[in-house]
Amino acid sequence: MTDHRAVYRVARVRFDGPQTAAHLRGPAEEWAGACRQAGLVPWGAFGGLLGLRTDEAILVAVGDAREWTLPHFDGAEVIEQDDFHSAARPAEPVPQRTPGVYVFRSFEIAPPDLDEFIRLSAAAWESFENDPAYRAEPRALLSRHAETGAVIMLLITWYDSLGSWERSRTPPPAARENFQRRAALTRWALPIATRLL
């Protein structure tokens, strides 16, 4: 699968009641197996920490540009799903395996600002990822064109803990400057903190 054709399908699923991560690990493993059998990459299944309902989870699977269906996740109904393409990361769709906190941050921007948004993000990461005060790594920067004409960016960043996420709110000066310039291009942003199931 070549990444320029890869489709990152991001789905929010809902259960009939609150779910714990412990209860969802088995279904997540079964879902990952179903993805692999369908020729898809199970990039990750994520349970909520902050900003996601207690009866919901987020699934990310990767396939090529042809039509395909997201495998069923036991006991869950797909509430919404969107298809994205890699804008900067990852170079190849590799399933996420590192425990920790994964923050899904959506941004709305104007289409003419797409290249600059990507450039500012990549420039900021050069120092953001190397600060010894915290452990963080942007794992994906994805994009899609919305029906409204806007571009929706989805940044998925791994942190070893919520403490690292909090400390990373004060990044190195070079990263902070690029993030501030990126914020000036942003109409709105929405972060959701999750854990890998």
What pTM, to 2 d.p., does this model score? 0.94
CATH (domain of 123): 3.30.70.100
108 in a domain, yes or no?
yes
Backbone conformation region of residue 51, classed left if phi is above 0, alpha if psi is from -120 to 50, else beta: left
For the chain, the domain total comes to 2
Domain end (from 53, 85, 117): 85
**Secondary structure class of 150 (helix, strand, coil):** coil
92 in a domain, yes or no?
no
75 and 109: one domain? no
Per-residue pLDDT of the chain (197 residues; tens, 9 = 90+): 444 579 999 999 999 999 999 999 999 999 999 999 999 999 999 999 999 999 999 999 999 988 899 999 999 999 999 999 999 999 999 999 999 999 999 999 999 999 999 999 999 999 999 999 999 999 999 999 998 999 999 999 999 999 999 999 999 999 999 999 999 999 999 999 999 99
Handedness of CA 111, 112, 117, 122 (dihedral sign): positive
For 138, the token pair is: 């942007």
CA neighbours closer than 13 Å in the CB half-sphere of residue 31: 28
- List the domain range (segments joined by +) for residue 66: 3-85
58 and 29: one domain? yes
Which backbone phi and psi does 4 adopt, to 5 degrees? -65, -15
The one-letter amino acid code at 180 reads Q
9 in a domain, yes or no?
yes
41 and 115: one domain? no
Q: What do you get for the CA distance between the two ends of the chain, in Å?
A: 25
**Contact present, 29 and 163 (Cβ < 8 Å):** no
**Contact present, 188 and 95 (Cβ < 8 Å):** no
